Structure formats: C-alpha cells, structure tokens
Amino acid sequence: MKPILSPSILTADFTRLGDTIQMINNSSADWIHLDIMDGVYVPNISFGFPVIESIKKIASKPLDVHLMIEDADRYINRFRDAGADILTVHYEACVHLQRTLANIRALGMKAGVALNPHTPVMLLKNLLRYTDMVLIMTVNPGFGGQTFVEESWSKIAEMRRMIDESGYDILIQVDGGVDLSNAVKLVETGVNVLVAGNTVFGSPDPAATIEKFVKLF
C-alpha cells in the first residue's frame, strides 16, 4: 500500500488559507490534516468549527481532524457536521474511549486514537476492534516544528506488530518531526499515514515539497 500524505495546515499562512487548500487539492497529497487545540489539553489554541466548515466548502480531499482537546465527546456531532472525515481523539483525554470511538464510527467517520510519546501502545490492545487508525505522536502535542522523539521508532514497530497480529485493518499515522530524511524509514517501520506540517509549509515552495514526499515512494 502506498503511504498516505496528510499535510498539516497548522503552520500554513492563514491569511491565504483558501489558496493553501486549493494548492493541496491540486497536489498529490491524499488528505488535509487539521489540528484542533483547546488551550486546556495542550498549551495552545488553534481554530474551531467556522474554519473547518470553510475548508470543507472548497476541499476536494478528506479532512483528517486531530482533536487535542478535553471532553471530545461533547463535540463529536459538531465535528461531523463541520466536515470531518477522519476524527482522532487522544487516549489520554478520553475517560470512556471505547464509547467515544464507537460513536465516531456510528456518525459515519473513521475513528482514530492518538498516543502521546510517553503512552505505551499496549494500552490499545483491547480497543483495536473499534479503531480505524492509530496516531503515534512523535513529538509532544501542541506546537508545530518540534524535533522527532527518537523513542518513537520502537513504538511504531510494536504497534505494527500488534495490529498485524490482531488481524484488523488499522492504519498507523505519525505526526511530529516528519521530514524528507525520515519518511522512508517511517514507512519501512510500519507507518501508513505521514503528517507533514512544518516541513511542507516552512519550505519556500510547499507544493514542490509535497511532490518530493510523494516521489519518495
């Protein structure tokens, strides 16, 4: 399976957000990654429903929505209505995670669960049947442009083994410090979905950088 590229717009120029979405539409990227932060679960605030709704109006690719928020259950319906296609919640922020994942699926979205760098992958063993994607955070969540946490390599490999042994069809996504130098190794280790933010939007030509990622595979 060819890896999926999901550019994160967190570090894009928000004064030209419409142009950015059209650029991704016209590129070889597969998804559009949206980081939602509440200033409580993580020490940063990004954007909310009006921005997602506006993006959905012009996006031709699935919206990959990553919730870094407390009490995500309160808003699942609203994220679906705003246009989320894949909705990922954090293991650490959900008290009743099985119910949360089941509700996401029941509303017609793909259900993802994210793990912070310190959270063991084994904690998901009994939840895999409710999960469409596992997001392994390779930086601590909250800000773009951070350095890849090296201990993530063993976590990715362990998650890949666990999924393969389970027999379930589950994607592994990584977010944080993904660049052109480690993308191939990440995929070889078991990653299916690459989230690239600062590498894409911190470059002089984001569209060309997306194509460089795609040409690696």
Choosing from 30, 35, 38, 64, the catalytic residue is 35
Surface-to-core class of residue 96, CB atoms within 10 Å of its CB (0-12 exposed, 13-18 middle, 19+ buried)? exposed
Q: Is 96 left (phi over 0), alpha (psi -120 to 50) or beta?
A: beta
Q: Which helix (H) or strand (E) holds 175?
A: strand 171-175
DSSP E strands, 2-157:
4-7, 32-37, 63-68, 86-90, 110-115, 133-137
179 tagged catalytic: no
Which two structure tokens, joined as six digits, stand for 3? Answer: 């890896």
C-alpha dist (Å) from residue 35 to 64, 157, 181, 212: 9, 25, 23, 23
175 as an active site residue: the answer is: yes
Active site residues: 35, 175
